[in-house]
Amino acid sequence: MTRLRGIGVAAVNYPTGMNLGGDPSQALIHATTSGSFVVSLSSTDLGQGLRTVIGQIAAETLGVPYEEIVVDLGDTDEGPHCMGTFASRATHRVGNAVMAAAREAREAILDVAAEELEASPDDLETDGEGGLRVRGVPDRSVRIADIAALAQFKYGRTISGRGSYMKPKSPVDPETGAMDPDSTEAHACTVAEVEVDTETGQVAVLSIRSAYEIGRMVNPALVRSQIEGGAWMGMSHALYETTAPYYPSMDHRPRDFSEYLMPGPLELAEVVESVVLEIPSSNGPYGVKGIGEMTANSPIPAIVNAVYHATGVRIDDLPITPEKILRGLDALAAAPGEPER
């Protein structure tokens, strides 16, 4: 028995948002009597943390603490239209809509504050912690929460904002394929290291190490969660998963997680490392690009290339099963040094 080690690399791009556009998301924001801000959306959090990043974007734009944001999502009576959470679009599209709504609400805050402070709205600045002051005059300051209450009870005004974001739909030329298929492009480069057992054909993934460029991270911990989850999903795609394990026979298709092969805790790569470059995009809120889908992509070819580097067996048919490895090793042994084609 021999254990052979190899390294593979892969580099990818990934477009943000529904590729041809025409996918609006809208947001509404209003202030409560106590100075909280409710962000109303019909969008969906799939478990990736949309609620949290939307709260961060709203807080940043309004200039209030994150804790003052209530994100009310997932209701078609309460929130305006959102195309949905898919296509790595939510942070970019919904984030842009929320940012626009927050800008409008912020202007309403500044108008009331200017009246209360007898200043011009243009001379006011927020401190990002819920305070608002006349620029250069530290003692003329006020809490945004107090402005929200005054707007309600003294001035009878609304503090609210509307936001929408949509990339206009691109046509496709049916002859040449000329089209505008992205809003911005994120990038990844993954280096995978594997160890192949030549007796069993089993592939162990030792490490998945990647660089990402995704514009700006709204929440680095949530970005790391996506990177780790995507690395495992990509690894599972490369080495384990199929809904038709006996194809071309369609019999005995897996019905549950005891029959459908996926890596368990012992099989997952122990090392998933990443570095994230932040080079702001031109059209994302605070420069973000989408990271949701792409984290599963580059690990797949990186693992396939690593298996080739380790064994000389080039497998072009996913998933890489032990049977394919062993047959490939047998073929190499039968015709050593034979060029691939």
Return the residues of window 159-188 that contact another protein according to CB under 8 A: 169, 172, 174-182, 184-185, 187-188
Q: How far is the CB of 136 from another protein (least distance, A)?
A: 12
Between residue 45 and residue 74, which ones bind another protein under the rule CB under 8 A? Answer: 45-47, 49, 51-52, 55-57, 59-60, 63, 65-66, 71, 73-74
By the 8 A CB rule, do 158 and 97 touch?
no
Which residue bears the tokens 């195309």? 83
Q: What angle do CA 8, 12, 16 make, to 5 degrees?
A: 150
Q: How far is the CB of 295 from another protein (least distance, A)?
A: 9
Per the CB < 8 A criterion, the answer to whether 162 and 2 are in contact is no
Write down the catalytic residue from 175, 199, 293, 338.
293
In terms of CB distance, is 152 or 166 closer to another protein? 166
Give the contact letters, 19-48, x = binds to another protein (CB under 8 A), - = no.
Answer: xx-x-------------------xxxxxx-
d(CA 278, CA 216): 5
293 is catalytic: yes
Candidates 143, 162, 216, 327; binder of another protein (CB under 8 A) is 216
Residue choice 222, 272, 291, 313 for contact with another protein (CB under 8 A):
222
Cβ-based nearer residue to another protein, 129 or 199: 129
Does 271 sit near another protein (CB under 8 A)? no
The DSSP secondary-structure symbol of 82 reads B
Instruction: Check residue 233 for interaction with another protein (CB under 8 A).
Output: yes
CA 205 to CA 304: how far, in whole Å? 11
Q: What is the DSSP string of 278-308?
A: ----SSSGGG----TTGGGTTHHHHHHHHHH
User: What is the distance between the alpha carbons of residues 114 and 119, in angstroms, rounded to a whole number?
Assistant: 5
Range 83-122, binding another protein (CB under 8 A): 83-87
User: Rounded CA gap, 101 and 164, in Å?
Assistant: 8
Examine residue 149 and tell whether it contacts another protein (CB under 8 A).
no
Q: Which residues are catalytic?
A: 293
